[in-house]
Chains A and B, each alone.
Chain A
């Protein structure tokens, strides 16, 4: 379970998909970085990720970690967004066997984790299949 402070620090990425774009070479980082891994630039502009993309690859979790047991089996995939950025997230609202590489998906705001019955609720993004 992630703590309140770490969860709070990641809100710009988890809620609003904020990324950083290197002003020298244009490479986009999510989450943001201090130094560009491509050109070593240190100047970045804030940008927001595309909300739609396609599944690059995925796996089906059948033996889930603590806190996710009720969700098994569930899919976790790498999605190539329409802006070229690839991110990892759960893919929900579908049976895992329905998924294929290339399935079009979009980001939705969902509850990602909860700290037991009395702890903080953590929100963020998951992918759902789109028509």
Chain B
């Protein structure tokens, strides 16, 4: 029995800050960041936007495309490293907003930037096991980079949601593969506001080792080559890393560009490769195969092979396209407004 995506949706906040605006404040070399990280600007959440609000909007788009009522969803799993509460699930709010309560399973996942694809994997697997007809997997983040830290140029906001089911499938999941080790490349301790990272250690032994191993393992298991795919999407901590990973795995740039959102979106952490997948589904043709590998520090990667069905033609216009949202009337802000929006300014208590 085929199992796969029956509805998908994304949400992109409208506010943006340019890399040059951040670099100006810290006396950094903006062109070097823009060229080195292949980043031009990033999305910024307003104070009234968080993982919960963006998850609701992305999930509503996914349900519209799935053509089902929220009450038919049997589970909601939200992956994020920026759940608004330390104790209290994001999923209960999202489920209530979707009209999915009370007969539903829900859990908030954490695995740095891989939490979204973890949620997708578990939702997909529960449907595959026959436990429920539909399940929602969501990746969303409003991540923070410490002022002046390299992460500040990329940490952004966005969400992607997927309804998994067995009827009217938009993209069949043909294979999955996971690769994980204990690799301390990026972390945030309890009660700490900003994460820390191990600088250049986040590259070779962390991102590239896991993304490339997962990618190679996935193709080996599926007995497929890069030529068998029309599209590929990888986790995008910046613009540079996913392009290099694609090249090393044998995917040409043309197969990656559609889902390569980082240059103008930034790193949406748990939303990153899932949002790239939604941008690909917006244009993919029936029969196309999509190669997807996420990455989460700590570290691990989830791999998926999706095969697009005829159904895609009927559903993609039912909700806003991801790149259309990215390009829709962006509101550019200065660093002062950005610092206020992100709670970086120390104030007196109300």
Q: Point out the residue from B15, B49, B328 that lies within 8 Å of A131, measured CB to CB.
A: B328
A33 to B14, CA, bound (A): 36
Contact yes or no, B53 A123, CB < 8 A: yes
Residues of A within 8 A of B (CB): 11, 15-16, 66-67, 69-71, 92-93, 108-112, 116-117, 121, 123, 126, 128, 131
Residues of A within 8 A of B329 (CB): 131
How far is it, in angstroms, between the C-alpha of A121 and the C-alpha of B46 when the chains are bound?
15
Query: How far is it, in angstroms, between the C-alpha of A124 and the C-alpha of B57 when the chains are bound?
Result: 12
Q: What 17 additional pairs, Cβ within 8 angstroms, besides A110-B53, A112-B48, A123-B53?
A: A11-B96, A15-B97, A16-B99, A67-B350, A70-B340, A92-B46, A108-B53, A109-B57, A111-B48, A111-B53, A116-B349, A116-B350, A117-B349, A121-B84, A123-B93, A123-B97, A131-B328
The total number of A-B Cβ pairs within 8 Å is 52
Q: How many residues on B have C-beta within 8 angstroms of the other chain's C-beta atoms? A: 24
B47: A residues at CB distance < 8 A: 70-71, 111
**8 tightest A-B contacts by CB?**
A109-B56, A15-B97, A110-B48, A111-B48, A109-B53, A93-B14, A110-B53, A15-B96
> When chains A and B are docked, how far (Å) is the Cα of A116 from the Cα of B349?
8
Bound together, the chains give a CA A109 to CA B57 distance in angstroms of 7
Q: Which residue of A lies closest to B54 (CB)?
A: A109
Whether A66 pairs with B328 at a CB distance below 8 angstroms is: no
Residues of B within 8 A of A66 (CB): 350
How far is B50's CA from A66's CA once the two chains are assembled, in angstroms? 21
Q: Are A93 and B46 touching (Cβ within 8 A)? A: yes
User: Do B52 and A108 touch (CB < 8 A)?
Assistant: no
B-chain residues with CB within 8 Å of residue A70 when the two chains form the complex: 47, 340
Q: Which residues of B contact A69 (CB under 8 A)?
A: 350
Interface of B is mostly: loop
> A residues within 8 A CB of B99?
16
What are 16 A-B pairs at a CB distance below 8 A? A16-B97, A66-B350, A67-B350, A69-B350, A70-B47, A70-B340, A92-B46, A93-B15, A109-B97, A110-B49, A111-B52, A116-B349, A121-B52, A123-B53, A123-B93, A131-B329
**B191 adjacent to chain A (CB < 8 Å):** no
Set A16, A116, A126, A131: member contacting B48, Cβ < 8 A? A126
Roughly how many angstroms separate A123 CA and B340 CA in the complex, as a whole number?
Answer: 20
Q: Which residues of B contact A108 (CB under 8 A)?
A: 53, 57
* CB-CB under 8 A for A121 and B48, given A15-B97, A93-B14: no
